[in-house]
Amino acid sequence: MREHEYSIVGHSRSRIGLYIAVFSGALASGLTLLVGYAVLRIEAAGYFDVPQLILWPFTAVSIFGILFFLFDRFAWKLFGLKAIVGVPNISGCWALTGQSYDVEQNPTFDWSGRIDITQKYERIFIHLRTETSESHSVSAAIVPEGRAGFRLIYAYRNEPKPGQKELNSHIGHCELLFSPDLCSAEGSYFNSGGRFTHGTMKLERTTEDG
């Protein structure tokens, strides 16, 4: 179980990468000039000779790597950048209530659990836990729905906990529509490949990461 890439409909990650690259180049040039000037002043004063090796760390490539690392993990969900980037921050812990139905659309049982979402700019991981099983995402996409909010679509793999003889490992598909304030969500799911059930889900945010 590990984080995986996810798509965001209508969002260009390459454009964000271009902006960071341009800023990295400008910052690298500024730092190089600043350090170069300081080196000249030191050498002119006769203190000691500064090797050119000291300028190597201030390359655009190294600065891009540092900036993208910080952006991927932290900066994209800061208040000032969140609206510009346009990626909803759904990371955190969510309380979950669900209801399952049979093939004739009759309710069969109610269930509850929690969903932990670990989200970075490039990667995401969705982990659902109940009393009887656990599931984790294998692919995901986020679709902006205008004033309705954001829709999370993901595929998952479910494993029953030890002792649950009536349950089988299976795969499934889930769609959740998050409210514009990202405090709640509603959706549906269906299972296949070992367990043929479907149902509805409701989420309430309990904590937020970052």
pLDDT tens for 117-138 read: 999 999 999 999 999 999 999 9
User: Residue 96: pLDDT above 90?
Assistant: yes
User: Residue 71: pLDDT above 70?
Assistant: yes
**What is the band of 55 on the pLDDT scale with cuts at 50, 70, 90?**
low
**Average pLDDT estimate for 71-85:** 87
Q: What's residue 26's pLDDT?
A: 84
User: Residue 46: pLDDT above 60?
Assistant: yes
User: Residue 49: pLDDT above 70?
Assistant: no
**What is the band of 60 on the pLDDT scale with cuts at 50, 70, 90?**
confident
User: Residue 44: pLDDT above 70?
Assistant: no
Domain boundary among 51, 85, 119: 85
Q: What's residue 113's pLDDT?
A: 97
User: Residue 29: pLDDT above 80?
Assistant: no
106 and 123: one domain?
Answer: yes
Residue 36 belongs to domain spanning: 4-85
Domain boundary among 29, 51, 85: 85
Residue scoring higher pLDDT (112 or 37) = 112
Question: What is the spatial distance between Cα 186 and Cα 177, in angstroms, rounded to a whole number?
Answer: 5
Q: What's residue 21's pLDDT?
A: 87
Q: What's residue 42's pLDDT?
A: 64
Q: Are strands 133-144 and 7-8 parallel, antiparallel or unpaired?
A: parallel
Q: What's residue 47's pLDDT?
A: 62
102 and 198: one domain?
Answer: yes
Give the total number of structural domains in the chain. Answer: 2
152 and 176: one domain?
Answer: yes
DSSP 52-67: GGGGGGG-HHHHHHHH
Question: What is the spatial distance between Cα 26 and Cα 60, in angstroms, rounded to a whole number?
Answer: 8
65 and 99: one domain?
Answer: no
69 and 99: one domain?
Answer: no
105 and 198: one domain?
Answer: yes
Q: What's residue 104's pLDDT?
A: 80
HEC-encoded secondary structure of 108-133: EEEEEEEEEEEECCCEEEEEEEECCE
CATH number of domain containing 129: 2.40.128
**Average pLDDT estimate for 102-107:** 83
In the chain, % of residues over pLDDT 90: 56
Q: 166-200: per-residue pLDDT in tens?
A: 778 899 999 999 999 999 999 999 998 767 789 99
List beta partners, residue 90.
Answer: none
Question: What is the spatial distance between Cα 161 and Cα 208, in angstroms, rounded to a whole number?
Answer: 27
**Average pLDDT estimate for 7-35:** 84
CB 192 within 8 A of CB 172: yes
81 and 111: one domain?
Answer: no
75 and 116: one domain?
Answer: no
Q: What's residue 111's pLDDT?
A: 95
> Residue 83 carries which side chain, given as an amino acid letter?
A
Domain boundary among 85, 112, 130: 85
User: Residue 52: pLDDT above 60?
Assistant: no
